Structure 1
Amino acid sequence: MAVTSLISTAKQRLKGGVNQALNTLGYRLVRADTLDRLARQSSPDDTAGRLAASPNGDAKPRNLSLLPAANAPPAMCTAHAPRFDPQKSPSQLADKIVAFQQNGVTVISTNPEKAAMFRETEQFDRDVSNRHSAWDWAGNSVAPYTKDLATGLPSPALIDYLHALFSGGDFDAFFRGVLGCPAKVANVRLVRSKPHLTAGVGPQEWHSDGCPAGVIRGVLYLCDVDAQTGPFQYRDANHREHTVLGKTGDLLVFDATRLPHRGSPPTHKTRSAIDLVFMPRMPDEEMTIMVVGMNHWPADPFFVKLPKERPADAEDALAAGRRSASLY
């Protein structure tokens, strides 16, 4: 049993290494039957669950296709979604749906008074450490990797507000337009970025998320964000950098797998925001707001590259030990 487990782990690591190398070169491996299934799903005469088969009834071999990956259209999130037609499906957010499908990012205005209120009432009282690290942990260590970021868990009042906001007809139509199905919130966390003049680390460094298919991201500004407040930035298919300024209450929705992005380091003003993860839900499933905490796991959409040298590593070992013990 132990040998089987070791072999399975080695295979997973090998596949992960190959995929990572291909992704660096701008490609990814996709099973041929997966491509066929996605193509059939977009056809009106498709029979759900139909398998590609050979003439004798056996399943076709799972051949692999090498496809361009870097900044391709947002197939990772929207391959299963019908192309939105604002003429056939009128919506208050029709232009936002079209913008997302074309560019992988859009900005939607929400209630600025509510956003400003939550900026003052929410508790940004945690650092960016993991509180339950384990030997096989895939995310950050117990020690925080920077002092320039503060986080926190949403209050019941904020959760209720987000539930009402994303349950409304406008956002229901928006998610159906960009994903082809309703959505729910897979995680909510508060993020406060303090002004600093050093290079950004973690989410302030350029990266792409490892979101599963159908998972998209959101950032709700709780303050006005100008060039000095650390605005959101992304790179398009031509590697051009775009900076997204915004007002209090503006919601950015973006494809974090398609677009390299970052929250740029604020230089003079503190940025307060809410990080959101959206994922598909079944048509009969109720809208839910999930809060999974601050920890990271292997498939966490928030997982980002961290620096080899961290400020926390240089702290006094005894002080670090006391801090670590207090986290449990």
Structure 2
Amino acid sequence: MFDDQSPLERLTRYEAKYGTHLPELLASQELQRVIEDGFCIIPDFWSSRKCQQAVQEIEKLLEREAELGVKVWRDDIGADIRIMGSNNLSPNLDLINDPKVQDWMHTLYDVNSLVGFTMSAKIQALKGNKGSGYGWHRDSCIPFQFKAILYLSDVSAEEGPFQYIKKSGNRDEMARFCAQHNIDLDANRLDEYEQYFDMSKLVELIASAGTLIIVNTRGIHRGKPLTKGTRYALTNYYWPPESKIPAHIKPYVN
């Protein structure tokens, strides 16, 4: 899209096209927060019992991984463990087909259908863990990208809470941040620029099991490295209907 233009020109044209359905978004309190702040938090979206069943299902799939032929991705130290496409393995691990989540996502993307899956994740406080997402990053640099994240376990400050720089996915804030610090607008790995973050806008999403987070992952975010315990979560990944699951991800999807 607009490959012959500068990143800022591409961003500006994308925003102008995307903005045609903003009135519909701003009519929803939850989606208004996603557009304005970058995220919204919805407590008690799942019951404690439903979360416990999901955790048990994750552990069962990991214990019987070879027997059941489950595709599992692990980081190099075995701290971050992911089962992509878990919605195809168990109804207890299916967030992608939740009607309310679908409705929100279709509205955010302004489409009637999406390509995607639910990922079940277990991350442990092993020495050297980098948290979920391997440090500060943004999933997309020009188009909006939205995810739904559901905590399946209680998450304290030590158990890898989702961290987000508020409003950092908004066009004006992105342009200012990159211009002020001479950062490529197309850069997505951002650990080396942490010193420039406005930490007064850092939000650490400490919450109990069952909490749903709808987030614009074009903003700067990470899963905080764990210093104790284990964090379980479900995450919905989405792509526009004309797209396909990226080639580097597809081999791991069940």
Bin of the TM-score, shorter chain as denominator length: 0.5 to 0.7
CA RMSD of aligned residues (A): 3.9
Residue identity opposite 2:22 in structure 1 = R
Q: Which residue of 2 aligns with 1:48?
A: none
| Distance in structure 1 (CA, Å) of the matches to 2:51 and 2:22 | 32
Uncovered stretches (5+) of structure 1, i.e. residues with no partner: 1-29, 32-61, 133-141, 283-289, 302-328
For 2:157 and 2:103, how far apart are their aligned partners in 1? 32
1:193, 1:265 within 8 Å by CA — same for their partners in 2?
no
Unaligned runs of 5+ in 2: 169-196
Q: Report the 3-state secondary structure (helix = DSSP H, G, I; strand = E; otherwise coil) of the residue aligned with 1:121.
A: helix
What aligned pairs does 1:170-209 form with structure 2 within 5 A after superposition?
170-184=100-114, 186-198=116-128, 200=130, 203-209=133-139
Equivalent-residue separation in structure 2 for 1:118 and 1:143 (angstroms): 19
Q: Given the alignment, which residue of 214, 239, 243 partners 2:198?
A: 239
- Give 1:171 deviation, angstroms: 3.4
The answer to whether the aligner puts 1:263 opposite 2:223 as a matched pair is yes
**Count of residues paired in the alignment:** 204
Deviations 1:166-211 (A, max 9, x none): xx2x434423432222343512221111113435167241122248
TM-score normalized by the length of structure 1: 0.51
Question: 1:144, CA displacement in angstroms?
Answer: 4.6
Q: How far apart are 1:243 and its partner, in Å?
A: 0.7
On the 8 A contact 2:129/2:226 being kept in 1, the answer is no
Tell me the equivalent position of 2:95.
162
**30, 35, 46: which one aligns with 1:96:** 30
1:117 is matched with: 53
Q: Relative to 1, partners in 2 of residues 1:205 and 1:181: Cα closer, same or farther, differing over 3 Å?
A: same
**TM-aligned CA deviation for residue 151 of structure 1:** 2.4
Greater helix content: 2
Contact 1:124/1:191 (CA < 8 Å) preserved in 2? no
Equivalent residue for 2:39, pick from 105, 108, 117: 105
**Displacement of 1:271 after TM fit?**
0.2
Show CA shifts across 1:194-239 (max 9, x none).
Answer: 1134351672411222488454222211111111111001223363
- For 1:104 and 1:235, the matched residues in 2 are separated by 8
Which residue does the alignment assign to 2:193? none
Structure number with bigger Rg: 1
Supply the AA of the counterpart residue of 2:220.
Answer: P
